[in-house]
């Protein structure tokens, strides 16, 4: 199969990642920090070294403030729900994924917060000036996705972070499509909380997310056993234990550690290849009659989204799979408001997302499949 759905999860998992997961399942089946025996201690050391690797990778504030979660969505829920105060105002945008929109709209429905959603410009970017102008007396939080999973547009989080710092606002960044694809520096960019998954740009296992934060800490939103302060019936707030109730996903954590190491060794070449392939798709689609590219020429993430004149995106994606053995993603991509903004909320878009492990021959085969579908009368 020609795999062009890497924005959902990268199809390539390095051997080191697979071996680390297997080794953890075979040799580290113990709960980190819950017992005093050697296996439990070794498991805890694996978690600790991964926290340190994550912290170094994004220039976080402390490895203790790297919290593991089920996925990026649960990390964003912790960041958003754990940081709101009743009656506060939150700034976000129409470009966001539902992992931001749904928590915000649920909080607004409960009349706990008021939300302003900024409108992206023609390049699908949010103006820092619009962020500045949206700030109110009761604004406490700014939350944005760094790179759109639909349009590939990259937000100016450095400028937005400066604005947040000037007004002492919590700045939360969804790094689902950017961590591993572009440089992030939490301290330099004034990011208070950064959420991202293991399974995308870092080529790690599925079922693991990270939330990194600094002095502005969220309140825990999941309660249970932490292995610490077990005499207390209230949730501890120590980092990271107070945010990781229950058993953490140690095999995936071990895999993430190796994914970060692999990324650091291969990023330069991988990034160049990924951008070449994404540009090939972008340019190729623009020459095919009956298709229209809706994403921006920001190729770092490898995302290119487009529509057909003659067919719904879901049907087109199915045809690419069935007739040409190409995997893509279609529909609204869990980001309904940006589709409404683009006018694609009825038929959705087909999203092709490349990795460095694709080939030019695969890109040509994909474009040929698109051209054949675009020529067909339905």
Q: What is the mean pLDDT of each run of 10 residues along the chain (378 residues)?
A: 98 98 93 85 95 98 98 98 97 98 98 98 95 98 98 98 98 98 97 98 98 97 87 89 94 98 96 98 98 96 97 97 98 97 96 98 98 93
Contact of 70 with 95, CB cutoff 8 Å? no
How do beta strands 2-3 and 326-327 pair? Answer: parallel
Phi-psi region of 10 (alpha: psi -120 to 50; beta: other; left: phi over 0): beta
> Distance between terminal CA atoms of the chain?
25
Domains in the chain (CATH in brackets) are: 2-9+267-375 (3.90.1150.10), 15-261 (3.40.640.10)
Rounded CA gap, 307 and 288, in Å? 11
Contact of 217 with 239, CB cutoff 8 Å? yes
Contact of 349 with 294, CB cutoff 8 Å? yes
Cα Rg of the chain (Å, integer) = 21
Give residue 60's pLDDT: 98
In a 13 Å sphere around the CA of 234, the CA atoms on its Cβ side amount to 4
Give residue 39's pLDDT: 87
Contact of 82 with 67, CB cutoff 8 Å? no
Give residue 377's pLDDT: 86
Rounded CA gap, 101 and 136, in Å? 20
Give residue 117's pLDDT: 98
Closest of 179, 189, 190, 366 to residue 277, by C-alpha: 366
Rounded CA gap, 187 and 166, in Å? 14
| β-bridge partners, 293 | 306
Give residue 233's pLDDT: 87
Give residue 328's pLDDT: 98
Contact of 80 with 143, CB cutoff 8 Å? yes
Phi-psi region of 125 (alpha: psi -120 to 50; beta: other; left: phi over 0): beta
Residues 6+ apart with CB under 8 A from 124: 95, 148, 151, 153, 295, 296, 338
Model confidence pLDDT, tens digit, residues 254-302: 999 999 999 999 999 999 999 999 999 999 999 999 999 999 999 999 9
341 CB neighbour count, 10 Å cutoff: 19
Give residue 94's pLDDT: 98
Closest of 342, 353, 279, 354 to residue 307, by C-alpha: 342
Query: The whole model's pTM is what?
Result: 0.96
Rounded CA gap, 267 and 206, in Å? 20
Give residue 136's pLDDT: 98
Give helix 98-109 / helix 72-81 axis angle, nearest 10°. Answer: 30
Give residue 227's pLDDT: 80
């Amino acid at each position: 199969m020609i795999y062009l759905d890497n924005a959902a999860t990268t199809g390539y998992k390095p051997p080191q990642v697979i071996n680390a997961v297997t080794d953890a399942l075979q040799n580290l089946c113990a709960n980190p920090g819950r017992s005093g025996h050697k296996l439990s201690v070794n498991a805890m050391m694996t978690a600790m070294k991964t926290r340190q690797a994550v912290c170094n990778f994004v220039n976080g504030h402390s490895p203790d403030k790297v919290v593991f979660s089920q996925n990026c969505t649960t990390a964003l829920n912790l960041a958003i729900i754990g940081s709101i105060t009743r009656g506060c105002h939150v700034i976000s945008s129409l470009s966001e994924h539902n992992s931001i929109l749904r928590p915000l709209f649920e909080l607004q429905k409960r009349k706990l917060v008021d939300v302003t959603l900024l409108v992206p410009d023609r390049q699908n970017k949010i103006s820092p000036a619009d962020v500045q102008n949206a700030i109110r007396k009761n604004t406490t939080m700014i939350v944005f996705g760094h790179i759109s999973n639909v349009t590939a547009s990259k937000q100016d989080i450095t400028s937005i972070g400066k604005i947040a710092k000037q007004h002492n606002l919590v700045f939360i960044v969804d790094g689902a499509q950017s961590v591993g694809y572009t440089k992030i520096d939490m301290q330099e960019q004034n990011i208070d909380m950064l959420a991202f998954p293991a399974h995308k740009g870092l080529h790690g296992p599925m079922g693991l997310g990270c939330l990194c934060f600094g002095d502005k800490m969220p309140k825990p939103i999941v309660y249970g056993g932490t292995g610490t302060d077990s005499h207390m019936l209230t949730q501890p707030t120590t980092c990271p234990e107070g945010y990781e109730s229950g058993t953490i996903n140690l095999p995936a954590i071990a895999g993430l550690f190796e994914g970060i190491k692999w990324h650091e060794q291969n990023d330069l070449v991988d990034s160049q290849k990924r951008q070449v392939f994404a540009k090939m798709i972008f340019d190729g689609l623009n020459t095919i009659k009956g298709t229209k590219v809706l994403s921006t020429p920001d190729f770092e993430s490898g995302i290119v989204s487009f529509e057909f004149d003659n067919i719904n995106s879901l049907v087109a994606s199915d045809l690419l799979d069935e007739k040409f053995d190409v995997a893509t993603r279609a529909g609204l991509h869990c980001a309904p408001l940006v589709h409404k903004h683009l006018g694609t909320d009825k038929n959705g878009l087909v999203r092709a997302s490349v990795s460095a492990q694709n080939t030019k021959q695969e890109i040509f085969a994909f474009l040929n499949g698109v051209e054949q579908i675009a020529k067909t009368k339905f």
